[in-house]
Amino acid sequence: MAKPNAMVILNGLITSTNAVIESMRIGAFDVLRRESINFEIRQVAERALQAAEQMRVADRERTSSGSIVPPQPSDDLIIGRSPAMQDVYKLIGRVARADAPVLITGESGVGKEVVSNAIHKFSRRSKSEYVAINCAAIPSNLLESELFGHEKGAFTGAVSQRVGRFEQCDNGTLFLDEIGDMPLDVQSKLLRVLQSGEFSRVGGNQTMQSDVRILAATNKRLEEEVENGTFREDLFYRLNVVRIHIPPLRRRSEDIRLLAEHFLNRQTEKGKVRPMQFSKEAMELLESYTWPGNVRELENLIQRACVLATGNVLLPGDLPFDANHANEVPPALMKRAARRFLSAAKDSGKTPLELAIREMIAVATEDTGDAAEAAELIGLSKTEAKKYISAPTKKAAAAKK
């Protein structure tokens, strides 16, 4: 017997991104990760029971509306199994059921357009047009025409009538990337469309109607842009009905391996490179890097590495990191170094700080050839340096000279 008020909780055996999204889209209450199922099941079950009771009280006569046929299986649109991304998948599944505007935020390169594409694919508009516009890439004097179209003779160079993106993707989805860079005059016309679904072509008097779902993305803090007067407050509230924040890659380092292998396999599948794999050391290096350019930087690095590699195994030397960030100390390496010094401190009787300073002096001495100069380089006075410069360090410096 069908139980329409049943709260469905899926266990940690589901690992596919699409399966998580589709499960939430068709009404699953939650999807538990395998790693935390023992800790979360009680709390989630209690919330599910409360929700079920509220549904029964609100609608006791509800009956099943029939089975929902899921879309054809395909490759996952988004790669990552970290807790942070699992939350994103669930939110995508929920917002895909509605038509409300969605504001997608996050640093440059985290994959905001990929998330937008996923929302469209799992929505009722999936068979209609999906159009992506980068508001920062189009000159401000042309953006209005790009979105709303123009009539012949509307401006210099308008030799014919042009259909805008709102007309093109009627009944579909329009993704406005970098919306924080949209000029104020265009913002006011976008607000009109969001409020009434109406717009006019540039140079035209006819009022047009369009049923378009708006998804917007930005790497800016729109609240600050509103305060600075560069973004309309009323438009911000219209767009910010639902917000999906994509965490930076450095905060979901457990996804780096999956992403790196995905990009490497994709290069192989396209026939661009021979079958390759990562060495253990190369993968450790990837997982310890801070990735200021996020997923886009990782993808570009893998592409370059595939071109530059001389063998079938990618080694640390094959990974062409951005020289501007190559000297940054990855948080993962800092944590490992701290653990090493804490462990060594227990055995030697010295403090972790003392051991760390001695190690830094030793490393700096290899470059300077002088222990005292090395100590000064890391910020110690000559008096302080004497405490940390050991006899072996002095001998090593003398030998280098």
- Which backbone phi and psi does 309 adopt, to 5 degrees? -65, 145
Residue 276 sits in the same domain as residue 233: no
Domain contains 86: no
Domain contains 323: no
CATH code for the domain in which residue 117 is found: 3.40.50.300
The pLDDT assigned to 175 comes to 97
Domain contains 87: no
Domain contains 102: yes
Residue 292 sits in the same domain as residue 238: no
Domain contains 85: no
- How many domains would you assign to the chain? 4
Tens digit of each residue's pLDDT, the chain (401 residues): 445 557 777 776 666 788 888 877 777 778 877 777 777 778 878 777 766 665 555 444 334 333 332 332 335 678 888 999 999 999 999 999 999 999 999 999 999 999 999 999 999 999 999 999 999 999 888 899 999 988 887 777 777 888 889 999 999 999 999 999 999 999 999 999 999 999 888 888 888 899 999 999 999 999 999 999 999 999 999 999 999 999 999 889 899 999 999 999 888 887 777 788 888 888 988 998 889 899 999 999 999 998 877 667 888 878 887 645 544 554 544 555 566 666 666 666 677 777 777 777 776 666 556 667 666 666 777 677 777 765 444 444 444 44
The pLDDT assigned to 363 comes to 67
Residue 192 sits in the same domain as residue 312: no
Residue 233 sits in the same domain as residue 111: yes
Its domain, for residue 24, covers 1-80
CATH code for the domain in which residue 293 is found: 1.10.8.60
Which residues contact residue 296 at a Cβ distance below 8 angstroms, ignoring those fewer than 6 apart?
A: 108, 109, 111
Tokens 């509307």 sit at which residue?
154
Residue 235 sits in the same domain as residue 265: no
Domain contains 59: yes
Residue 127 sits in the same domain as residue 42: no
Residue 243 sits in the same domain as residue 286: no
Domain contains 325: no
Q: Which residue, 247, 279, 300, sits at the end of a domain?
A: 247
The pLDDT assigned to 72 comes to 27
Residue 256 sits in the same domain as residue 243: no
Domain contains 324: no
Residue 103 sits in the same domain as residue 234: yes
Task: Write out 216-281 in H/E/C secondary structure.
Answer: EEECCCHHHHHHCCCCCHHHHHHHCCEEEECCCHHHCHHHHHHHHHHHHHHHHHCCCCCCCEECHH
Residue 157 sits in the same domain as residue 183: yes
CB atoms within 10 A of CB 268: 14
The pLDDT assigned to 76 comes to 67
Residue 242 sits in the same domain as residue 262: no
Residue 238 sits in the same domain as residue 154: yes
